[in-house]
A and B are shown apart, each in its own frame.
Chain A
Amino acid sequence: MAASLRQVVAGSWRQPERHLLALQCAARHSRWCLITSRTFYTAEYDPNEKTFEKLLIANRGEIACRVIKTCKKMGIKTVAIHSDVDSSAVHVKMADEAVCVGPAPTSKSYLNMDAIMEAIKKTRAQAVHPGYGFLSENKEFARRLASEGVTFIGPDTHAIQAMGDKIESKLLAKNAKVNTIPGFDGVVKDADEAVRIAREIGYPVMIKASAGGGGKGMRIAWDDEETREGFRFSSQEAASSFGDDRLLIEKFIDNPRHIEIQVLADKHDNALWLNERECSIQRRNQKVVEEAPSTFLDAETRRAMGEQAVALAKAVKYSSAGTVEFLVDTKKNFYFLEMNTRLQVEHPITECITGLDLVQEMIRVAKGYPLRHKQADIPINGWAVECRVYAEDPYKSFGLPSIGRLSQYQEPLHVSNVRVDSGIQEGSDISIYYDPMISKLITYGSDRAEALQRMEEALDNYVIRGVTHNIALLREVIIHPRFVRGDVSTKFLPDVYPDGFQGHKLTDLEKRELLAIAASLYMAEQLRSQQFLGSPRISLAKLDLNNRELSVQLGDGTYSVTVSNNGSTFSVEVDGMKLNVTSEWNLASPLSSVTIDGTQRTIQCLSRDAAGNISIQFLGTVYKLRILTKLAAELSKYMPEKAVEDTTSILRSPMPGAVVAVSVKPGDLVSEGQEICVIEAMKMQNSMIAAKTGKVKAVHCKAGETVGEGDLLIELE
């Protein structure tokens, strides 16, 4: 009896935590599950060190949650601010108090200083942590806080201002003997002078109009001839397009890496460098995968970079945590890029390898405590990798945002040494108003291989349904031979996927594995559909499901597969090769652990239907298969091919009502799921959304108009 009871209890614990032992605790459950996420700090909190009573977090999403977690640890009461649509967001639920600061658009809520100052007064918060983005590097905000006697958790106004200005920060860096990209900015008289400057800098150089933003009109010159040509083009352009003769001639860094140094400084003139983060994997200048430390740096370069970063921090009397970004060329020359005077998105990987809690240190420093560590105390323990999981479609230019509700969401916290920083939960909306980041997935290992191995596992075990996500891309990046070798640059993605990302390419063995898994899943479902309980009509005939012949369609190929069943193992013959597939075959679980001839794989069955269609997420990528019996497959060839009726390009009114708002105009680009117009009927506002991504061709309605059912509202191209 006792033994069986133990078994029951053990069994229950093994289930995900959302399956409760008892209904009674259900009510409070949702609140508790929010603060169970794992962190890897070794730095302890000293309860005798008084900091603040109450702290307001002027941010949302995962970073707000991240700050609240440390505050809870330090015994600080927290105040969350939120917009209308965020009123039931995770950070609001986690905080002790919450104040609504305005409607959804960030300019009216999270950037609304008046409302935030009001919230601070109302809640009597003593300090404000700005997180990243929003007001984190806004000197006006820091100034207003200071005038109200509220502590800003970050550097002082002077440092924010100095580092916020590109030219000033470069000058400061130069003076602090930090390597900067050699270059010239000003009026260049003629081509000869341009050549002279270029030679001084050393080839290759980049030439462009100073007034041109970003990479616009940028030319690369590798020798004198190209410099003259570049000068001609750029000076013409500078004069004609911008009416500003100034040119920028700068050292061009080929195949650069983006490596940044985390610094931590206090108000007592102490500053530390907390090693580097390799952030080279980027798309459209946004980081995707980061790791610490970098495979590229040797101890000497690391120390040199660290010391320069600290020198810069001291030069601006920096306090709090900050990041000095460098470009590193193939010869390990590094050049100062800019300094971020805030907590970075990717700070967790530094925390993993150093054991520090950066938020805790920021709060201590802001209160005026000196740093507790010496430079020699800062270790590099193991290796940490961070993947940014975004709600976006990686198949479209490495990620176009997608929106929607997370109908199912399960973080892979059951995998060891995984940390997930997120600010959403099952049921959360990923809206158009804010950053589409779902979470930061961080894995940690004693070495890089271990950390990457865990990352693979974690990505496979991450359940995200309801929005498109970029897990397929992340998983491909971390297993790519170039990445595994450490051979990365900021151009990694376009170099590796010149034709855009197309998902995982299955090897022959992997394809067989996928076919075998799909066929087994199909058979498991067939078997289960015979298991009716308590029916008074019991079949006497024994079901024999051996040697079932199936036809599996995958992509353009059709494969003949033979399946036999023996308990929880299916023997699957694919292309004359026999594979044994073993699993629990739980058809309800979003995750399935499957063993194929000894190889363990975690797959996710996203959907399956009666017509044999099944989508499986295998090795990160979602594959669509169709499984039919041999007979059905043979008969299917008589079925007519049907032209798909395109109803996605037109939007008709589903009911009679009044058009309340039209949010697009002809020529606008809309993404799938985006609201196009709102129709009010029966005092209800119905949001009409785009069924596909595309350009608006015509708008046939305007706000205030009454429309009938089936009336054409919008046409897309």
Chain B
Amino acid sequence: MKRFAPANQPFPAERTGSDGRGNKGLHFKSPASRRLSTDAWAVGRLGRLRGECGAGPASAALGTRARPLSLARLARAVSARVAELARLGAWPATPSEPGCQTALLASSLIEAQAGLLRPFLEPGQGRARAVSQAAARMPRSCACAMLLSAMAALRLLPRLLRVSRTRLVRSRSAGAPGSVPERIAEKRRAALLGGGQARIDAQHKRGKLTARERILLLLDPGSFVEYDMFVEHRCADFGMESDQNKDFTVFGGSLSGAHAQKICKIMDQAVMVGAPVIGLNDSGGARIQEGVESLAGYADIFLRNVLCSGVVPQISLIMGPCAGGAVYSPALTDFTFMVKDTSYLFITGPDVVKSVTNEDVTQEQLGGAKTHTAVSGVAHRAFENDVDALLNLREFFNYLPLSNRDPTPVRKCHDPSNRLVPELDTVVPMESTKAYDMVDIVHSIVDEREFFEIMPSYAGNIIVGFARMNGRTVGIVGNQPKVASGCLDINSSVKGARFVRFCDAFNIPLITFVDVPGFLPGTAQEYGGIIRHGAKLLFAFAEATVPKITIITRKAYGGAYDVMSSKHLRGDVNYAWPTAEVAVMGAKGAVRIIFRGKETDAEAEYVNKFANPFPAAVRGFVDDIIEPSTTRIRICRDLEVLASKTQSNPWKKHANIPL
């Protein structure tokens, strides 16, 4: 039986405050789908994930219209949409009640002001909270935030914002009927509808949510405060602009100069306050009608992406088509997630591919979630649907620090740091040729068996992902003996290197589990440039100054031993399990080379000498040989000591990683 709240229930956030997950600044951006001809880039000033605050640009899809709405249509659409939202409990049931509107508007002002003043009022202290404080004081503030965001579709120029605010205040005091405030309120409600009920239904039919629904799901209830909702494509709605475009009938969710402007603004702010940037992408690419202005818009965003890189975490969630220039923004961000079956990423679509290379390929094959998570390695993970993706994104967000100046988040931990893990004493098989699952080891060591794996379907011979040790976020890197024997090849090196660099950029300690038989030999690898790509992982580990803890579970052979966060690359604590074999190569191969094919029983001698942890231990290349069951205890203890680690590399403009 489904039972939901009665229609007149207020927005849940009002009663519940926040559901408390999120907290950093969020930026949203999600251009509307091309087919929707949408122009709603709801750029959210801030929303809260995990109860903290943050700023974020949201480029919201939908909120599109194909042609100017007549007032009558608008009114119909608005009331339908409001009813829908009210049913969801996300909208006050009596929006037309004058008192309610006043409250909304008033609170919007408070919020906006608080938002603007925040950085100055409370330096270094829950800036977004200032807003939520303001929100808490105003009963309808949450709904107000939504209204504001809805206004994005109404296309006002930024400077109008100030004007309208002033007017708003004035006219409210005057209380004139049919006045500007009323019109604004009406337009705002219209904006919520985006492209109208028909288009919303169409979006739903495609198995996708509208931008606003996505934002509602992603953020703590009531924490989204929209920026620039009055920003408008250069157009003529209010006759304010002389350079009118004729193109507003078909926008296709494509990027206009105005979109870009909104996104850049919020990204600049995000960098300033140290708030992560999250993009919800659902866009058709550059708006052809705008020509070079649109291209400039992209470049502006790319520049911000690059400048933000390593300053605040940037996450892209691809929730629809994302083609052409638009793909490079996700590509520049730290993590790209996709929604299965409804999202695509490609430079050019199947039609163009056909005309250029004569290849027959579907959208899904060319740039679907499966392609990018398993073949190209462009995306880091795919989720089943919009709801699944957004809920997982909340989970993922909790692992990340807010910026490179913030410490690693430490969540309250219920898992004892002195927990012994007897399972580990038997996990490595006795036969050195037999595989085991490194993920089992990770699960049993980390807090509550929670491991957020990055790129699980790509280059499976290395595993990377986030977990917590005694509450503290750590980055996990491990060779996976189950896949291709855990060797390092081109793909796994690049996958590992990028992850290591992210952790290093954001102060996340690295824990490396080593069972590596070496680099993968063969022409395919050599021609593909394994030397160059393998060097990336080496570079990343060597360069990293975050706490680095390494556990050699079994093989650590050859150059791959050096690469995998060895003592020689400034590993802080390097442990070996009793099953560890640190050697230049396996016994068979070594004996063959040393004795040049002569029959000899030197293999046993080699095994005895090198296939154990002692050669490395006596030289101090591993700090201790530990019982596997004590691994968790030791890592937790070491992380505590290393929390105050400071290490720096020589001054440089930037390093020159072998790209």
Contact = CB atoms under 8 A, between A and B. Distances in A.
A405 interface: yes
A611 B388 contact: yes
Contact of A537 (B132, B402, B422): B402
Nearest to B452: A610
Interface in B403-448: 406-407, 409-416, 418-427, 430-431, 433-435, 440, 443-444, 447-448
Contacts of A537: 23, 52-53, 124-127, 402, 406
Contact of A588 (B23, B413, B444, B634): B413
Interface stretch (A23-31, A62-70, A119-127): A23-31
B420 A26 contact: yes
B413 A558 contact: no
A640 B395 contact: no
Interface string A267-303: 0000000000000000000000000000000000000
A497 to B, nearest CB: 29
Contacts of A609: 392, 395
A540 B447 CA distance: 28
Interface stretch (B161-169, B209-217, B235-243, B499-507): B209-217
Interface stretch (A42-50, A503-511, A524-532): A524-532
Interface string A633-651: 0111011101000000000
A30 B421 CA distance: 10
A642 B387 CA distance: 14
A697 interface: no
Contact of A611 (B20, B387, B433): B387
B471 interface: yes
B250 interface: no
A559 interface: yes
Contact of A632 (B204, B387, B415): B387
Interface in A61-104: 84, 87-88
Contact of A655 (B209, B406, B484): B484
Nearest to B420: A18
Nearest to A557: B1
B496 interface: no
B51 A539 contact: yes
Contacts of A30: 422, 425, 627, 629
Given A559-B1, A588-B448, A638-B204, A427 B423 contact: yes
B4 A27 contact: no
B259 interface: no
B2 A560 contact: yes
A610 B394 contact: yes
A683 interface: yes
A695 interface: no
A405 B50 CA distance: 35
Contacts of B483: 654-655
A54 to B, nearest CB: 27
A354 B642 CA distance: 58
Contacts of A586: 414
A88 B447 CA distance: 27
Contacts of A450: none
B16 interface: yes
Interface in B267-295: none
Contacts of A33: 422
A139 interface: no
In this complex, the interface size class of chain B, counting residues with CB under 8 Å from chain A, is: 35 or more
A551 B412 contact: no
Contact of A680 (B411, B433, B633): B433
Interface residues of A, number: 81
B452 to A, nearest CB: 9
Interface string B447-484: 11000000000001000000000010000000001111
A187 interface: no
Contacts of B195: none
B487 interface: yes
Interface in B110-142: 124-127, 129, 132-133, 136
B251 to A, nearest CB: 23
A686 interface: yes
A27 B420 CA distance: 10
Nearest to B422: A426
Interface in B20-42: 20-21, 23
Contacts, number: 264
A687 B637 CA distance: 36
Given A23-B630, A557-B1, A630-B12, A589 B433 contact: no
A537 B627 CA distance: 39
A685 interface: yes
B457 to A, nearest CB: 12
Contact of B217 (A27, A530, A547, A635): A635
A631 B440 CA distance: 35
Nearest to B431: A685
A640 B20 contact: no
B520 interface: yes
Contacts of B415: 588
B1 A547 contact: no
Nearest to B517: A682
Given A26-B630, A426-B422, A685-B434, A533 B410 contact: yes
B52 A19 contact: no
- Interface centre among B213, B413, B471, B485, by most chain A C-beta atoms within 10 angstroms, is B485
Nearest to A534: B410
Interface in A513-564: 526-549, 551, 557-560
Given A611-B387, A684-B485, A406 B17 contact: no
Nearest to B388: A611
Contacts of B423: 405-408, 426-427
Given A539-B52, A632-B217, A588 B18 contact: no
A155 B584 CA distance: 58
A60 to B, nearest CB: 15
A685 B433 contact: yes
Interface in A613-662: 628-632, 634-636, 638-640, 642, 654-655
A587 B448 contact: yes
B33 to A, nearest CB: 15
A51 interface: no
Interface in A183-206: none
Contacts of B176: none
Nearest to B643: A534
A425 B427 CA distance: 12
A557 B2 CA distance: 9
Interface in B482-516: 482-487
A634 B87 CA distance: 9
B271 to A, nearest CB: 16
Interface in A440-474: none
Contacts of B409: 532, 535
B207 A526 contact: no
Given A527-B20, A686-B485, A635 B392 contact: no
Contacts of A541: 17-18, 129, 132-133, 136
A627 to B, nearest CB: 11
A484 B1 CA distance: 35
B19 interface: yes
B11 to A, nearest CB: 10
B312 to A, nearest CB: 13
A610 B634 CA distance: 29
B384 interface: yes
B365 to A, nearest CB: 15
Contacts of B652: none
15 contacts: A27-B630, A87-B430, A426-B423, A529-B411, A531-B411, A534-B407, A536-B124, A536-B407, A537-B127, A537-B406, A538-B126, A543-B20, A543-B51, A612-B391, A684-B481
Given A23-B630, A407-B444, A537-B23, 16 more contacts: A19-B416, A20-B418, A27-B630, A405-B427, A407-B440, A427-B425, A531-B411, A535-B409, A535-B410, A537-B406, A543-B17, A635-B88, A642-B340, A655-B483, A683-B586, A684-B433
Q: Which 8 A-B pairs have the closest CB atoms?
A: A610-B395, A588-B415, A640-B207, A427-B423, A682-B485, A531-B412, A530-B51, A684-B485
